């Protein structure tokens, strides 16, 4: 497994990023620690979280995922330099709205640093667009954090091609650093919002891309085959939306390639992303160490041109 350069950031990341949104939600602290240990023992190094994970759980305030990562970092005995930590700012943490104001970014970064028990964040992302704040204001706040050494690199999530280009233009005009990483939704099923102008822009501007929902809320693992499979599952309602003709075509292609390669459908779905145009590394989560098998296998799986074509056509 080789680390991959993340755009122009100077960071080198693993071919799959561990999604930590499940920590403190569907994976308790002990399980989360075990997942983190196995992930790093396998040679992977990149974690994705956010200040708001897992605010959606009744009784949670947000920051639960960052807190678990911080406790693990402190107690694992590993060097801080072994981990590339990605976290995000801009979600509603009680303000009642998405928030990329300079005041909030400069305040909330310290809360994330405290929860993560570290003095720097490797990659800090604007979680959502905020049309009440100018690009110059948000970029200026991120630039200040870089100058202070609190973050190493900056990026954004959920920006379309128009908004991303506007941010580049604003950065150039104001003499500010630009966003160097994008985190979009992208997987074998959900392709329209990234493929085309957004992917073209990222490639042209050498933007690192770490996409979320790489396994489509677990659908691409193959564990959801009918409505009954989704019942009572934390992400079952979302997986249910994929149970249609297109979804079944994708599952059939994954099943066929799984026989050819002797690996799980989830590994194939992630490997397709790793080899896809414009993608640096997909994000995938695991609620147990055993679920990491698919992620670890994906890191070294090379799909043939014919297999890539089959998957591209199935999910077209």
Q: For 19-54, what is each residue's pLDDT tens digit? A: 999 999 999 999 999 999 999 999 999 999 999 999
Percent over 90 (pLDDT), the chain? 93
Work out the average pLDDT over 265-278.
98
Question: Under a CB-based contact definition with an 8 Å cutoff, are residues 150 and 120 in contact?
Answer: yes
CB-based contacts of 136, cutoff 8 Å, min separation 6: 170, 174, 176
pTM: 0.96
As given in the structure block, the two tokens for residue 242 are 């994929």
Report the candidate in 57, 13, 60 with the shortest Cα–Cα distance to residue 39.
13
| pLDDT at residue 292 tops 80 | yes
Which pLDDT band, with edges at 50, 70 and 90, does 234 fall under? Answer: low
Determine the pLDDT at residue 91.
97
Peptide bond just before 120 cis, omega within 30 deg? no
**279 SS3 class:** coil
Work out the average pLDDT over 304-316.
97
Q: Residue 45 and residue 128: Cα distance in Å, rounded?
A: 25
Question: Exposure pattern of 62-91 as b/e (b: 16+ CB <10 Å)?
Answer: bbbbbbbbbbbbeeeeeeeeebbbbbbbbb
Q: Residue 300, class by beta-carbon neighbours within 10 Å (0-12 exposed, 13-18 middle, 19+ buried)?
A: middle
Q: Residue 315 and residue 286: Cα distance in Å, rounded?
A: 24
Work out the average pLDDT over 225-230.
79
Give residue-wise pLDDT tens across range 76-89. 999 999 999 999 99
As given in the structure block, the two tokens for residue 295 are 């992620």
Average pLDDT over the chain, rounded to an integer: 96
Q: Residue 187 and residue 242: Cα distance in Å, rounded?
A: 12
Stretch among 57-66, 176-185, 219-228, 268-277 having the lowest mean pLDDT? 219-228
Work out the average pLDDT over 156-172.
98
Give residue-wise pLDDT tens across range 116-125. 999 999 999 9
Determine the pLDDT at residue 1.
73
Determine the pLDDT at residue 232.
74
**208 SS3 class:** strand
Question: Under a CB-based contact definition with an 8 Å cutoff, are residues 204 and 225 in contact?
Answer: no
């Amino acid at each position: 497994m080789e680390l991959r350069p993340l755009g122009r950031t100077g960071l080198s990341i693993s071919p799959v990023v561990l999604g930590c949104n499940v920590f403190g939600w569907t994976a308790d602290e002990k399980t989360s620690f075990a997942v983190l240990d196995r992930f790093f023992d396998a040679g992977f190094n990149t974690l994705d979280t956010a200040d708001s994970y897992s605010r959606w759980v009744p009784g949670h305030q947000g920051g639960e995922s960052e807190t678990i990562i911080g406790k693990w970092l402190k107690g694992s005995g590993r060097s801080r330099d072994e981990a590339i930590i990605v976290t995000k700012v801009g979600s509603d943490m009680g303000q009642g709205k998405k928030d990329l104001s300079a005041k909030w970014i400069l305040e909330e970064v310290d809360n994330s640093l405290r929860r993560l028990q570290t003095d720097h964040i490797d990659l800090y992302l604007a979680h959502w667009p905020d049309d009440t704040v100018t690009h110059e204001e948000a970029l200026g706040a991120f630039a200040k954090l870089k100058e202070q050494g609190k973050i190493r690199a900056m990026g954004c999530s959920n920006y379309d091609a128009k908004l991303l280009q506007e941010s580049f233009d604003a950065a150039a005009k104001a003499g500010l650093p630009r966003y160097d990483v994008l985190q979009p939704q992208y997987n074998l099923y959900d392709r329209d919002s990234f493929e085309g102008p957004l992917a073209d822009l990222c490639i042209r501007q050498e933007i690192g891309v770490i996409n979320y929902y790489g396994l489509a809320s677990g659908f691409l693992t193959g564990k959801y085959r009918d409505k009954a499979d989704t019942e009572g599952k934390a992400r079952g309602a979302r997986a249910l939306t994929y149970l249609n003709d297109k979804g079944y075509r994708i599952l059939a292609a994954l099943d066929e390639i799984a026989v050819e390669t002797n690996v799980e459908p989830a590994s194939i779905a992630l490997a397709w992303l790793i080899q896809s145009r414009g993608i640096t590394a997909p994000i995938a989560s695991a609620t147990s160490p055993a679920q990491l098998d698919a992620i670890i296998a994906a890191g070294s799986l090379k799909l043939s041109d014919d297999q890539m074509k089959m998957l591209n056509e199935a999910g077209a």
